[in-house]
Chain A
């Protein structure tokens, strides 16, 4: 029998019908590894799913893409959908209706549920969050001994504020016993009252690796803690339950360390500036007082000198007055004396004698009364400059 020749379209159309009518192929659940992942700008996702022997091309249309889908090359996924033919090029694909990253979808849901539950209970409320002490002496660090988180924390603190005691409580930060470890560590440190603040830290990782920080028992332990806890888990974009319930979230372990201590240099500077300021203020005050004192002293000096000067002037004037008075009196007295002297002169016998009058002496005695004279007596007649010795020859009364 000769077969009729079909067109390509007819062949493809037929194949498509077979494929889409097959009950198994129409309702498939597959598991495989993501490869050749292409996120199209249209919102559709194209990729291949493979196992170690073969692969199949897939597409997820935009409206089937779940909200928190985080596809990556190499991820193990489970997907459900149907096989159909893309008629244009004769290739078949798996058209995916829903896809789940192995186990992961679960975790996201769990996370959201626990977050809501604890939020409703009030565990995230601001009012429960304790203040981080500004100058701690003892910092408790709960983290893995290996790994970059601890190293980063120590480096930051050593650089910024090498004045504290860092007390490490090592824990497993992932795996089955990690959550219990962390709970125990928080409890342990809380029994040591000298611890001022706790940094709960872990480096970056996937949601599975960070999972212990999302566990309910860890959240409750953080909430119960009397010592403030800084949650420094993962990278900047990772958020864990511990971030919400702790007293402060830090985006990374380094940031956690940075928040937990002050800057030594700042404190040092502020102290020194304060001291300088105080010195300056006090100096100024003393200077002001001294200036005031000096100025008062000057005033006193000036006033005092003024007073003294006045007194001197006064005294000088007095002296002058006395001098003048004395001089006047001297002159007056001299005049008086001269006057008296003059009179004396005039009355002086010598003055009289210079006018020709004489004195008579007998036996060296002045004769006042001529009745005492006898004839024959020797008398001296005193002229001004001459003395004449005489013998009395005749005595006659004259009227």
Chain B
């Protein structure tokens, strides 16, 4: 599940939790899901890295280049 979808669901859960009418069981279930979503988003954010590649004009392959090089 991508970040934006996960984050949106997390917001929905927070809104639901704020409702007075929700039962303790329901709260627990939602909270667990919320924590899972947070961990997932966290992982997505932390694992992504900056990569710079360049398509080679001749062979249409990708070549990695350093930030310093440019």
Which residues of B43-70 have CB atoms within 8 Å of chain A's CB atoms?
45, 48-55, 57, 60, 62, 65, 67, 70
Known: A135-B4, A188-B55, A274-B10. A164 touches B17 (CB 8 A): no
Q: Is the CB of A166 within 8 A of B14?
A: no
Partner pick for A169 among B42, B54, B70, CB 8 A cutoff: B54
CA distance A275 to B52 in the complex (A): 32
* Chain A residues within 8 Å of B18, by CB: 281
CB of A15 within 8 A of chain B?
no
Q: Is the CB of B54 within 8 A of A170?
A: yes
CA distance A188 to B60 in the complex (A): 9
Chain B interface residue count, Cβ-Cβ cutoff 8 angstroms: 34
Interface string of A258-278 (1 = CB under 8 A from B): 000000100110110011011
- Which bucket holds chain A's interface residue count? 20 to 34
Interface string of B10-29 (1 = CB under 8 A from A): 11011001100010100100
* Chain B residues within 8 Å of A162, by CB: 49-50
Q: Is the CB of A168 within 8 A of B45?
A: no
Q: Is the CB of A167 within 8 A of B57?
A: no
Q: Is the CB of B52 within 8 A of A168?
A: yes
Q: Is the CB of A281 within 8 A of B4?
A: no
CA distance A322 to B22 in the complex (A): 56
Q: Is the CB of B7 within 8 A of A163?
A: no
Partner pick for B53 among A158, A165, A264, CB 8 A cutoff: A165
* Chain A residues within 8 Å of B60, by CB: 188
Q: Is the CB of B27 within 8 A of A278?
A: no
* Chain A residues within 8 Å of B10, by CB: 274, 278
CB of A289 within 8 A of chain B?
yes
Which residues of A266-300 have CB atoms within 8 Å of chain B's CB atoms?
267-268, 270-271, 274-275, 277-278, 281-282, 285-286, 289
Partner pick for A281 among B17, B49, B65, CB 8 A cutoff: B17
What are some 26 contacts across the A-B interface (CB < 8 A)? A134-B4, A135-B3, A154-B52, A154-B67, A158-B50, A163-B45, A164-B50, A166-B50, A166-B52, A167-B55, A168-B52, A169-B55, A170-B55, A170-B57, A267-B45, A271-B7, A271-B41, A274-B7, A277-B14, A278-B10, A278-B13, A278-B17, A278-B34, A285-B17, A286-B24, A289-B24
Q: Which 7 A-B pairs have the closest CB atoms?
A: A162-B50, A163-B48, A168-B54, A165-B51, A282-B31, A166-B52, A281-B17
Beyond A150-B70, A169-B54, 19 additional pairs, beta carbon < 8 A: A135-B4, A137-B48, A157-B50, A162-B49, A163-B48, A164-B48, A166-B52, A167-B53, A167-B54, A167-B55, A167-B62, A168-B52, A168-B65, A271-B7, A271-B42, A274-B14, A274-B38, A278-B34, A282-B27
Interface residues of B (CB under 8 A from A): 2-4, 7, 10-11, 13-14, 17-18, 22, 24, 27, 31, 34-35, 38, 41-42, 45, 48-55, 57, 60, 62, 65, 67, 70
Interface residues of A (CB under 8 A from B): 134-135, 137, 145, 150-151, 154, 157-158, 162-170, 188, 264, 267-268, 270-271, 274-275, 277-278, 281-282, 285-286, 289
